[in-house]
Structure 1
Amino acid sequence: MATIKSVKRWFWWHKWTSLICTAFLLLLCLTGLPLIFHEEIEAMSETKKEIAHTENAKPVPLDAMLAAAVQHFPGKVAKLVVWDDEHPGLVNVTVGDSPSSPYQTDKYVVINSYSGKIEETPKPDEGFMYVMLHLHVDLFAGIPGKFLMAFMGILFIIAIISGVMLYGPIMKKFDFGMIRTEKSKRIKWLDMHNMLGVVTLTWATVVGLTGVINALADVMLYAWQQGQLTEMTAPYKNAKPLSGNLSSLDEAVNIVQQKVPTMQPYFVAYPGTMYSSKHHYAVFVKGTTPLTKRLLKPALIDAKTGALTDMRDMPFFVNAYFISQPLHFGDYGGMPLKIIWAIFDIATIVVLGSGLYLWFARSKSSREQLARMEATYTLTVTA
């Protein structure tokens, strides 16, 4: 009796968690498929960027590039400087109405680091991949949309666990992967659903967990700001606001590179932005291996004096986000891993679709059975 109760309990969890999250998961799988190949798709639609320079050419000073970016958008202030990994030799500069202005009002400038010339002013809020990304990440609903997707990811993980608990006892009686072709159409789809669910089990669990972590990125950023960043800037809590000219950005980056010569700069946040304090440049550096280049290390430079005031490794939960983000889209092993991710993505779409079919088929069968029972009861009473 205890076993029957346990099976019923797992069936209830599997049924309702699956039903609640299936529509969202289908959307995530469908939008995730092009996102796996986002680099290849974007390369097809964009003009190839050739960064021509002589062999011994030296990059233009960052201060000069920042001045060019601000001059291009009068009235704006510098917020972020990002080195372009996909196009070496290009530097992306973000400018806004103020250091703390919302990102929706920001403007972007791409600068050739060897000539100092502005190559383009991209508009990231348009195009096919922009739509796919926001449907996948937040349904164009901002932070509430991200929280909703995180909740759906948690339900998905519960559905996976409950599905395993249901499928395990079945496999004690039948061969793994069996599909009973001699049975009804619904039974064949049930076997297919179970078999593909087990085959994609590990992948679905990894993608589900990393998806939840990615959806909670804003929570992790806030926790880092209130925790480690607050500790690093504690001596400046009562400092006077910055005034006058800031220290050289080139010198700030050089100081950090001298401190950690085995790492390379990834981006710099200006004072007052969400990644820094009101008194510091935040220089984020990264490693050079496939793993360490995903892990960032912040260094704070006093924007007035140019002195290095603190440098620390990120907390474990932020590093978990950095690692999970590329893993979620299979972005660790080049094209072979992307193809594997795409195959599992398609298989998961079949699992989700078959799950919906089985639910509707079961409901229809139950209604028909109920109708037959009512008809039989009516005939018996009137006889």
Structure 2
Amino acid sequence: MTRRAVRAWVWVHRWSSLICTLFALLLCLTGLPLIFKDELGPDLKLAATTAVPGAASVDAMITQAVAARPGEVVPYLFYDRDHPILKVPTAASMTADPATFHYQVFDTRTGEQIEVPQPNEGFLYVMTRLHLDLFAGVPGTLFLGFMGLLLVVAIVSGVVLYGPFTRRLAFGVVRTDGSRRRTWLDLHNLLGIVTLAWFGVVSFTGVINTLAAPVELAWQANQLVEMASQAKPASGESRHASIDDVLRDVRTAVPGMNVMTVAFPGTPFATPSHVAIFLTGNTPITSRILKPALADASIGQVVSVRDMPWYATALFMSQPLHFGDYGGLPLKIIWALFDVATIVVLISGLYLWGAKRPRRGADADAGRSAS
């Protein structure tokens, strides 16, 4: 590589890193507790019972939730992937901001309510919002996505520069017999190349995750409308079917899959005359991919089932890679160790930039004094 090319890559690496490093550091710091969100979450204290999950009446749970919050409605139902519980949010309207939801949690085996803290408050909620959107909604998410793109550029340019800057050193050498800055430079280069694959995957999947809102809008504007147009509701029906009947029919229509989310008519993820049910598979991979189904809200019959489009599937597949939550606690610990190493890389990069500038100023002062 020519000297001019090296200088160009140095310029790209320096400025892409400087612009995004503070935000990347924030994402690493907030992401660390989110890796262990299941372990740090509330203790559910589920009662021992021989009843199977899903045995209790969901209609009864909804009735109890609405009775506890007069004047509010239930827009969604959320099943937990790992525990036999159902989260029933209530809100002022079917289109209310999810941040305003009040959640009530029920044991799906017995129908008993479980007292747990609200998921939209507390330490993990603050960490999640800072990590996802800086409490700024979609603009904050897209801004972090742009910072993620700059981070990918910084990683690529760092890989390009690794060879020219370390060609005279054996791999893994950290020189401690010279200046402090040189020691930090060696440590920065070593940890940077060791965490390269992990940091690249996490950064790239993080950028993909920031596209969740546009992906949702694209699905609503295209596939949801198409599914609804091909699944006309029963004419002359004004009643609403039991949600227990809806769930029973969808489990029959799509066997071997688990219901994860139910969106009621009037919400952005359903239609005025259909209930939308989102299901997942039972394997580590298929458990991350949603399959939507529409049921006629008046008779409770499933009228349309299809796979999500490829761009939505890519989004779902990127999420477990980002948080490392598909391989149990051992993989989470590995993810956390890489996260800590990456924090050191980011901090050392800031130190190297800051340590270099005063030296230049001091050299200039010395030159002026000599003249």
TM-score normalised by length of structure 2? 0.93
Q: Deviations over 1:283-335 (max 9, x none)?
A: 11110011111111000011123332211111122112212212211111111
CA apart distance, 1:241: 11
- SS of residue matched to 2:75: strand
- SS of residue matched to 2:276: strand
CA apart distance, 1:47: 4.0
Matches within 5 A, 1:47-58: 47-54=43-50
Match of 2:170 among 153, 175, 178: 175
Matches within 5 A, 1:314-353: 314-353=308-347
Matches within 5 A, 1:116-265: 116-120=111-115, 122-235=117-230, 244-265=238-259
CA apart distance, 1:48: 4.2
CA 1:47 to 1:56, structure 2 compared with 1: closer, same or farther past 3 Å?
A: closer
Two-structure CA RMSD over aligned residues (Å): 2.2
Aligned-pair identity in percent equals 47
Worse-matched range after superposition: 340-349 or 172-181? 172-181
- SS of residue matched to 1:77: coil
AA of the residue aligned to 2:280: K
Distance in 2 (alpha carbons) for counterparts of 1:332 and 1:235: 36
AA of the residue aligned to 1:30: L
Structure 2 match to 1:380: none
CA 1:352 to 1:231, structure 2 compared with 1: closer, same or farther past 3 Å?
A: same
Distance in 1 (alpha carbons) for counterparts of 2:168 and 2:349: 22
Distance in 1 (alpha carbons) for counterparts of 2:54 and 2:340: 47
- Give unpaired runs (5+ residues) of structure 2: none
| Kept in 2: contact 1:301–1:308 (CA 8 A) | yes
Distance in 1 (alpha carbons) for counterparts of 2:44 and 2:247: 29
| Kept in 2: contact 1:110–1:122 (CA 8 A) | no
Q: Deviations over 1:126-153 (max 9, x none)?
A: 2111111111111111111111111111
Given the alignment of the two structures, is residue 32 of structure 1 paired with residue 27 of structure 2, yes or no? no
- Give unpaired runs (5+ residues) of structure 1: 378-383
**Structure showing greater Rg:** 1
AA of the residue aligned to 1:201: L
Distance in 2 (alpha carbons) for counterparts of 1:153 and 1:124: 27
Distance in 2 (alpha carbons) for counterparts of 1:346 and 1:242: 61
* Corresponding residue pairs, total: 371
Q: Deviations over 1:256-303 (max 9, x none)?
A: 211221112112110111211121101111100111111110000111
Distance in 2 (alpha carbons) for counterparts of 1:329 and 1:163: 23
AA of the residue aligned to 1:132: M
Given the alignment of the two structures, is residue 5 of structure 1 paired with residue 13 of structure 2, yes or no? no
